[in-house]
Structure formats: structure tokens, C-alpha cells
Amino acid sequence: MSRIALVDVNNCYVSCERLFRPDLLNKPVVVLSNNDGCVVARSAEARALGVVMGMPWFKLKGFARQHSIVALSSNYPLYADMSNRIMSLLSTYSARQEVYSIDECFLDLTEHGHAHLTEYAQTMRSQIAKWLGLPVCVGIASTKTLAKLANHVAKKQPLWRGVCDLTTLDKSALDALLAEIPVSAVWGVGQQHTQALIKLGIVTVRDLRDADGPFIRKRFSVVLERTVQELRGVICLSLGWDSCAKQQIMSSRSFGRSVYTFADLAEAVTVYVTRAALKLRQQNSLAGAIQVQIKTNPHQLKAPQYNPSIIVPLSRPSADTLMLNAVAVHGLGQIFQPGYAYVKAGVMLLELLPETRAPIDLLADIEHATRRTTLMHTMDRINGKYGPNAIGAGVAGMSERRDWMMKQGQKTPNYTTRWSELAVVHAA
């Protein structure tokens, strides 16, 4: 039988912030989404006060002041850097690792032998705590879905001391445990499914595990039927341990204020294309098409709404920022209408293919293409060294003009990724 572990950082963003702000330990802390929009992470203390994930910050503000909740803007460079460190440390614990998100990964421990997995996982926890100062929980089981569930149990039930290995339970103990957990805790069961399942009398994880597979498939989908199988210990989701290339790359942001003009939107689109194209080159891919979208504020019910998008194919696949940008801005021109208050724009790179599989264009000017590729690499190197906006496409504008950029009122410094913002130790 296989053994899969799911390792997950507790309250990841809050824990990262606390590393450099030990004064925040034991205090209610929340981290806000881009634009300081809503809550995306909360400490145990904030959760205990009733702060819900996704709560808009403007609604929470008064309550937060009353209860001395500390709110921070999200600091993704810091979280990404800590994530890289933790993932590389965890990779030493298994030959097979699937990095599933910024704060969690699966490890295949099948080859490790079954006897001492709990101790092995405890070793991981203490090494991560000691080297990086971050708290993690570990769930172990025979499938990914069960490992996610085990992780949930490890977090919720203190008696497991941060590591829950479901394979150590006998059948009746496992049945009893699964009968305590609401079906909504299962990976792949969201709000819609939860409500529909409850109506059918499927309320606990145990109910779902024991539900009729073909019925679930018919009433819901093959996806949920796979989940049922996985809960029974049948592997349907295999471990993807190669960091495979993304199939689409997106870059979008809400603005700090409403935007009305084509010029401002074009400037934003150029910034997003620049960011997306960099990611594209980093995974050595080319894009065959680019989608541009702009949006008005959906929460502003009385204001006129306009949320167009357009997909523009490229004449030939490319990773050239300037080329992609020209196409994107042209696409923007097709959908832009004056007279609306736009609050968000985004671009998506589509039809990605590996650089190596680029079609050969007999009519292309090889010398020109090579120069452009060199230009892109040079640009990436300069931006890598001097900051992401050191040089870019012409329309991107200078930062002082970009007053539409997102609001980040409470951002902590880039403690680990910028020399100028390193934490400083003061001698007593």
C-alpha cells in the first residue's frame, strides 16, 4: 500500500510575518489580499474572534480596531522566498515531491517503510521549526485525498501533536473518526457540492465514502466519484512530482482607484503582459494566443457594468514581451469602451507550448528573431538584478505616474529578498 504525506504550513502568511515580527506572536493577526481587499490568512487568535476567510477589510476594520487585530498587506516576495526554502528542505525527505501550492506539498513515503512514519514526520516538523521557524502539520494516508483529510485532522485535533497517520487506525477507529468530520472538509467538496450532498443525507466524510459511486457520478461528476474512490483508498490522483509547465499564465490586478481612459488601461495591460511574459520565459514556453480582459465593479450594482474580454491569436508563438504587448494593446483597443469605471484588468497567455517545439518559420528573419531573444534575456537579467521594473516596454510608464496601482497600506518589508530591506539586528 502506498503512503502519501501532505505537509502544510499552519496559517502560512501570518506565520511568515511573525518570523520578523515576534511581537505579533499570540496576538490576533490577519493578512489582506492585494489592494488590501479582504482577509486571506488569519492567526488562530483572529479565528477565535470570529474573523472569517474572505471577509472584506472595510467591513472588518471597526471590529479589528476594537479587538486590537493587527492587519497586514500581503508580502508575496517574503512568502514565496520562505516557501522555496521549506520546499527544498522537504525535498530531502522523499525522492518524490509534488509542490501543490505556496504552502503545501505531497511527499511519497511509500519506499520509506511503514513502521516509523509518525516519528519521521515529527522529525520534519522539528527541523522546519528549528531551521525556518515555521509551524507545519503532516497528514499521512494511502491516497492524496485521504492525506489531505489526515492533515485536516492533525490541525484540528491537538492529541495528534501535528502528525496524523490514518493508516495506523483500525477499521472501527477510522469509521468513527470519519463519522465526526463534516463532508465539507473533503478536498474537492466545495460549497455547492456540500449543500447538494447534505440534501441527499450525505453529511459526514464517512457517508460520502460509503455513497454509491455510479450514483455520485450521475448526480455530480466523474470528479466527485474519484473523490469517493480516493476516500476508500483507491488511488485516482497520482502524484505529479515533476514541476510541469503551466498550461496558461495569468496576470491581473484590481486597481487602487477606478480607471476611465484607454491610456491608463493600456499602461496596466503592459505591466501585466510584462509580468506574464517573464513567467512564460522562466518555464521556457511560448504563447500562441493572449487574452485581455477589463472589468467594471461587480459590487457596484447600480453602476453600468461592462466586462468584455478578447482572445487574440499570435501570428506565430512567441515569448517576446514587446510582441505580446503590441498584440494585447491592440486587443484592448477592440474591447475598450469609454464611459465606464474600470476596476480591474488582466491578461492571460494561452496555447502554451515548449520553446523546443516552436514551429519553424521559413520566412522569418532569423537574425532579427535571435536579437530579440537576446534582448529578452538581457531584460530579464537586468530586472533580476535591479528590481522587476528596472526596464520594460515603453507603454508601461514610470512608477510615479502609475497612480492606479494597488493599495498596500500595511506592507511589511521584503526582509529576505531585498538588500535594502533586510532585517537589522541591534546589539543590546
For residue 251, the minimal CB distance to DNA (Å) is 4
Separation between Cα atoms, residue 53 and residue 41, nearest integer Å? 7
Separation between Cα atoms, residue 67 and residue 13, nearest integer Å? 20
Separation between Cα atoms, residue 65 and residue 67, nearest integer Å? 5
Instruction: Record the cell numbers describing residue 54, joined without a space.
Output: 474572505
What are the start-end ranges of the E strands in 76-223?
97-101, 104-108, 136-141, 163-165
The packing angle between helices 12-20 and 76-90, to 10°, is 100
Separation between Cα atoms, residue 147 and residue 160, nearest integer Å? 14
For residue 400, the minimal CB distance to DNA (Å) is 21
Instruction: Record the cell numbers describing residue 300, joined without a space.
Output: 457596484
Instruction: Record the cell numbers describing residue 192, joined without a space.
Output: 455547492
For residue 298, the minimal CB distance to DNA (Å) is 8
Q: Are 392 and 321 in contact (CB under 8 A)?
A: yes
Separation between Cα atoms, residue 175 and residue 207, nearest integer Å? 10
When the beta carbons of 33 and 389 are compared against DNA, the nearer one is 33
For residue 268, the minimal CB distance to DNA (Å) is 10
Which CB contacts under 8 angstroms, 24+ apart, belong to 353-360?
A: 353/285, 353/286, 353/288, 353/317, 354/245, 354/284, 354/285, 354/286, 355/284, 355/285, 355/286, 355/319, 356/284, 358/286, 358/316, 358/317, 359/316, 359/317
When the beta carbons of 124 and 277 are compared against DNA, the nearer one is 277
Residue position matching grid coordinates 466545495 = 190
Residues linked to residue 349 through DSSP beta bridges, in sequence order = 249, 290
Closest CA to 184 of 236, 233, 149: 149
When the beta carbons of 236 and 369 are compared against DNA, the nearer one is 236
For residue 151, the minimal CB distance to DNA (Å) is 9
When the beta carbons of 224 and 395 are compared against DNA, the nearer one is 224
Main-chain phi, psi angles of 98, to 5 degrees: -115, 115
Instruction: Record the cell numbers describing residue 161, joined without a space.
Output: 501533536
Q: Which DSSP helix (H) or strand (E) runs through 377?
A: helix 366-386
When the beta carbons of 235 and 369 are compared against DNA, the nearer one is 235
For residue 245, the minimal CB distance to DNA (Å) is 8
Closest CA to 188 of 227, 136, 144: 227
What's the one-letter identity of residue 257?
A: R
Residues linked to residue 417 through DSSP beta bridges, in sequence order = none
For residue 365, the minimal CB distance to DNA (Å) is 28
When the beta carbons of 113 and 190 are compared against DNA, the nearer one is 190
Number of H helices, E strands in the chain: 14, 13
When the beta carbons of 37 and 77 are compared against DNA, the nearer one is 37
When the beta carbons of 51 and 120 are compared against DNA, the nearer one is 51
For residue 193, the minimal CB distance to DNA (Å) is 3
- H-state helical runs in 74-170: 76-90, 117-132, 144-156
For residue 148, the minimal CB distance to DNA (Å) is 6
For residue 258, the minimal CB distance to DNA (Å) is 7
For residue 428, the minimal CB distance to DNA (Å) is 39
What is the binding site for DNA (CB under 7 A)?
A: 33-35, 37-38, 40, 54, 56, 58, 100-104, 148, 186-194, 221-223, 246-254, 258, 272, 275, 279, 297, 299-300, 311, 343-344, 346, 406
> Percent helix, strand, coil in the chain (nearest 5)?
45, 20, 35
When the beta carbons of 177 and 276 are compared against DNA, the nearer one is 276
When the beta carbons of 67 and 253 are compared against DNA, the nearer one is 253
When the beta carbons of 56 and 413 are compared against DNA, the nearer one is 56
